[in-house]
Amino acid sequence: MRAEAVQRLAGLGSARADVVDAARDANVDDEHDPEGATIAFERAQLEALAADARGQLAEIDAALARLADGTYGRCAVGGEPIAPGRLAARPTATTCMEHARRHVRFRP
């Protein structure tokens, strides 16, 4: 999972570099130019995807740290075991289903 996330991040980085290069080649400097707006939009989308990938990478690293210290698979709220099905679906889960639901419900 970590290797995949790193690879995805690298791919997004080079896609972003391509957009920047394309913008330079097209000599688009004016943000009010329709072409410039398209490039800015593409760049913003790539940055959002990269932010997602970085967040996922951080979650994976945190899960690996929990594996190393022996707390992996335990709910961060109550300390009870997280159901294997939940971990299979979401290996970076930090809480059991019950506490994940409560957390969502109590979020302001």
The site string for Zn ion over 47-76 (x = CB under 5 A, - otherwise) reads ----------------------------x-
Pick from 16, 74, 90, 99 the residue near Zn ion by CB under 5 A: 99
Cα–Cα distance between 48 and 46 in angstroms, integer?
A: 5
Q: Is 78 in the site for Zn ion (CB under 5 A)?
A: yes
Cα–Cα distance between 41 and 52 in angstroms, integer?
A: 17
**Closest-CA residue to 78 (of 63, 58, 60, 100):** 100
Q: Which window, 41-49, 50-58, 66-74, 91-99, contacts Zn ion (CB under 5 A)?
A: 91-99
Cα–Cα distance between 101 and 105 in angstroms, integer?
A: 6
The smaller minimum CB distance to Zn ion, of residues 2 and 101, is found at 101
Pick from 77, 86, 90, 91 the residue near Zn ion by CB under 5 A: 77
Phi, psi at 48, each rounded to 5°: -65, -45
Cα–Cα distance between 1 and 14 in angstroms, integer?
A: 20
Nearest distance in Å: CB 102, Zn ion: 8
Residues near Zn ion, by CB under 5 A: 75, 77-78, 96, 99
